[in-house]
Amino acid sequence: MNHPLRIATRKSPLALWQSEHVADRLRAAHPGLDVILVPMSTRGDEVLDRSLAAIGGKGLFLKELEIAMQRGEADCAVHSLKDVPMVLEPGFMLPAILARADHADAFVSNHYDDLDALPQGAMVGTSSLRRQAQLRARRPDLVLRDLRGNVNTRLAKLDAGEYDAIVLACAGLARLGFESRIRARLDAPAWLPAPAQGAIAIECRDDAPEIHALCAALDDAETRICVEAERAMNRALHGSCHVPVAAFARREGTQLDLQGLVGSSLDGRLVRAASEGTDPEALGIEVAERLLSQGARELIDAQ
């Protein structure tokens, strides 16, 4: 390449951390390679967040970065894989999925140690339907309130006393140096994360073999297999980030174990299913079918 490898990134603290991390990993994997960040968007995250909520599609997060790659202004982009749509935009691929960090959700509060320690009627902040459904299932008495913005903004709103507790991803908190704010990990099998939570992916054009080869050095085969199963399940349910779908896969030897859940953020009904297999795609479809046979479609459509 006769120019530096250019990583398109959004400007939120988490997006910048993840892009810097990928840049560092690429430099370490390819000594002498020049890697730079190309920050995108003059819009604040809050604004982007609101417009996303309005159009109901997380795809916008990627759109701007994909346009930069299409125009040849950037070579690749870095995403939290849980925010990447189940079906990629034509012409793009994911040359690397990095080894997954902590997959779990975090219970964050300034006064209470865990979900079960919250007093009756306590106020919990989250805009995720998946988190709302699991909160309602476990504690129907809680009052749930929307909480938007990037990780730093959400912590500031908690600290301002607007909520008794909030739920965030452990991975995002750890990356930003807020690991000490995690009061409890909400973990499988009782509580499930978003499909691919905790995994970082690199996206590039599918007509860029040189970029593909450089990025592929960071791919983690084990993580890729697990998140493929989780994303195949979500895809088979026609899920996005806006439906209350949760999934977590882990590999034991050659066997993959996938747990899935669909819920209602309105009344806390949950259906759960799990299975084991060796083919991630087939396993994801099988668990999705088990969820559908228990009425998952009705819960998704009711949202």
Ligand X SMILES: NCc1[nH]cc(CCC(=O)O)c1CC(=O)O
Question: Counting contacts by CB under 6 A, is residue 52 touching ligand X?
Answer: no
Q: Which is nearer to ligand X, 198 or 239 (CB)?
A: 198
- Give the active site residue among 24, 49, 83, 113: 83
Q: Which is nearer to ligand X, 95 or 172 (CB)?
A: 172
Question: Counting contacts by CB under 6 A, is residue 220 touching ligand X?
Answer: no
Q: How far is the CB of 10 from ligand X (least distance, A)?
A: 11
Question: Counting contacts by CB under 6 A, is residue 168 touching ligand X?
Answer: yes
Question: Counting contacts by CB under 6 A, is residue 172 touching ligand X?
Answer: yes
Question: Contacts with ligand X: how many residues (CB under 6 A)?
Answer: 10
Q: How far is the CB of 18 from ligand X (least distance, A)?
A: 8
Six token digits for residue 84: 């990447």
Q: Which is nearer to ligand X, 172 or 260 (CB)?
A: 172
* 301 classed as catalytic: no
The binder of ligand X chosen from 169, 249, 256, 274 (CB under 6 A): 169
The binder of ligand X chosen from 197, 223, 234, 275 (CB under 6 A): 197
Q: How far is the CB of 32 from ligand X (least distance, A)?
A: 29
Question: Counting contacts by CB under 6 A, is residue 171 touching ligand X?
Answer: yes
Q: How far is the CB of 48 from ligand X (least distance, A)?
A: 11
**Residue 87, class by beta-carbon neighbours within 10 Å (0-12 exposed, 13-18 middle, 19+ buried)?**
exposed
Q: Which is nearer to ligand X, 129 or 285 (CB)?
A: 129
Q: Which is nearer to ligand X, 109 or 275 (CB)?
A: 109
Question: Counting contacts by CB under 6 A, is residue 265 touching ligand X?
Answer: no
The binder of ligand X chosen from 15, 151, 192, 233 (CB under 6 A): 151
**Interactions with ligand X, residue window 60-99 (CB under 6 A):** 80, 82-83
Q: Which is nearer to ligand X, 197 or 265 (CB)?
A: 197
Give me the DSSP letters along the chain.
--SPEEEEE--SHHHHHHHHHHHHHHHHHSTT--EEEEE--SS-HHHHHHHHHHHT-THHHHHHHHHHHHTTS-SEEEEEGGGS-SSPPTTEEEEEEPPP---SEEEE-SS-SSGGGSPTT-EEE---HHHHHHHHHH-TTPEEE---S-HHHHHHHHHTTS-SEEEEEHHHHHHTT-GGG--EEE-TTTS---TTTT-EEEEEETT-HHHHHHHHTT--HHHHHHHHHHHHHHHHTT--TTS-EEEEEEEETTEEEEEEEEE-TTT--EEEEEEEES-HHHHHHHHHHHHHHTTHHHHHHT-
Q: What amino acid positions are annotated as catalytic residues?
A: 83
Binding-site ranges for ligand X (CB under 6 A): 80, 82-83, 151, 168-169, 171-172, 197-198
